[in-house]
Structure 1
Amino acid sequence: MTTALITGSTAGIGAAFARRLATDGHNLVLVARDTKRLREQATELHDRHGIEAEVVTADLSTDQGIETVGDRLRDRRNPVDLLINNAGFGNKGRFLDVSMADELTMLKVHCEAVLRLTSAAVEGMRERGRGGVVNVASMAAFVPRGTYGASKAWVVQFTQGVARDLGDSGVRLMALCPGFVRTEFHERAGMGTDNIPGWMWLDADKLVAAALADLARGKTVSIPDARYKTLAGVVKVVPRGLLGGITSKTGRKYGPR
């Protein structure tokens, strides 16, 4: 049985990855900040699927939290075969409305943690000649929408670059770029969602199934829905200046209230 480590495992996309991987027979290392929720999740997945579910409490906005997870990924006696870098959050408000401390915390979680944990994981994977990393980005990576979009654009570029560097190693890396997914994400950020059209919402379990299929195919970027694939294609041909105006207006219409 292989082992997958999932950050931000207790809710949303992370929880969907945990359910799917447990169903497929993978042992799990579940990472989040809330020990109680982690233990409840681990017990449920163990009882339902008969897999081993290890709990690691860590706050990835801190050096100590990142190092705690990094140490687990570097453990050669209990290797991790698949890393899901899913932990993340959004800030409500435009630039300068959000405190610099909150902006820097976002970069810590979305960029520094992804960099350090990917490095910790792939070193052993390369030695073993197999393994995979899924870095959860966003469709926001493809449009000019502030710190959140910029951090997710970094995730996409970083993942593609490392995937090329490790192309002959047996280690696969993929950036996952979902659109709007029904999770706790918006509620935690204090963002309203009533103004987002129904057609834009994705199901987390279907998203994860498509993402794992794309990883198996060797894709380095996954946009796991035909609607968002179409939007990504449109974004590529729209001039950047015009795109910035469109996304700013769209953000005010469909973003936080």
Structure 2
Amino acid sequence: MPTALITGATAGIGAAFARRLAADGFSLVLVARDEERLRSSAETLHRRYGVKTEALPADLALDEDIAKVEERLREGVDLLVNNAGFGHPGSFLDVPVADEVRMLKVHCEAVLRLTLAALPGMRERDRGAVVNVASVAAFFTRGTYSASKAWVVNFSESTAAELTGTRVRVMALCPGFVRTEFHDRASMDTSGIPGFLWLSADKVVAAAMRDLALGARVSVPDIRYKVIVGVGRLIPRGLTGQVSRRLGRR
């Protein structure tokens, strides 16, 4: 039975990955900060799908907790989903530097370290995959969040290129606005986001798994966002920055 490790596994896209992979017969290692919620999620998935579930409480903003997850990955997994992440309600100049550094720790350093912990075993077995959850924001300019997600996309593509000729895959998943707890946790006002731009987490994961099977290095779920990203790449960066500031949170 294959094993998947998912960070940020108790809500949103991470929880949707857990449901999908459990339904596909994966044993699960679930990683999140809230230990009580994490163990409840693990037990629910075990009862519903009959798969082995393991709860691994960890805050990926802390070195010692990243190290715990690295150690588990070195024991061997078949799929790593780096999903943990968060946003800030304010603009870059209004956010305390400690909060910005914490975001970079979770979005960039943890993704790098966990990917590096998982890949040697996958390469030795010549099978396995890593999905790094980024965002459509990676293709636009909006503060540290979009900058960190742009790093995730570039890192994923670069790592995938290094694995050419193997059966190990690395893919960046770049969803748009998804109905999860993400915006509420960051105290973001999403009233300015048009209703047609919202996606469901389960559909995002279904698209991701399909693209991963097809060997994609970057997955942008839904034709609406494929068009947005395509247009965004054609217009000047300064203009895309103005658009991104006006759309979405206030």
User: Shorter-chain-normalised TM-score: which range?
Assistant: over 0.9
- Structure 1 segment 1-257 matched on structure 2, within 5 A: 1-75=1-75, 79-250=76-247, 254-256=248-250
AA of the residue aligned to 1:146: G
- Deviation of 1:248 after TM superposition, in Å, equals 2.3
Question: Residues 191 and 249 of structure 2 are in contact (CA less than 8 Å); yes or no, is this contact kept in structure 1?
Answer: no
Equivalents in 1 of 2:202, 2:246: separation in Å?
30
TM superposition shift of 1:193: 2.0
Provide the rounded CA distance (Å) in 2 between the counterparts of 1:137 and 1:52. 28
Task: Work out the CA distance in 2 between the residues paired with 1:172 and 1:46.
Answer: 27
* Equivalent-residue separation in structure 2 for 1:153 and 1:28 (angstroms): 28
**Structure 1, residues 214-237: CA drift from partner, whole Å, max 9, x if none?**
000000000010000010110011
TM-score by length of 2: 0.98
Amino acid at match of 2:197: M
Which amino acid is the alignment partner of residue 22 of structure 1? A
CA deviation profile, 1:115-145 (whole Å, cap 9, x unmatched): 0000000010000110000000000000011
Q: Which runs of 5+ in 2 are unaligned?
A: none
User: Residue type of the partner of 2:226?
Assistant: K
Deviation for aligned residue 1:249: 2.6
Structure 2 Cα separation of the partners of residues 58 and 141 of structure 1: 26
- Inter-partner Cα distance in structure 2 for 1:62 and 1:170: 32
2:232 maps to amino acid: V
> In angstroms, what is the RMSD of aligned CA positions?
0.8
Q: Which runs of 5+ in 1 are unaligned?
A: none
Distance in 1, Cα, partners of 2:153 & 2:128: 19
Q: Distance in 2 between matches of 1:13 and 1:244?
A: 26
Q: CA deviation at 1:168?
A: 1.5
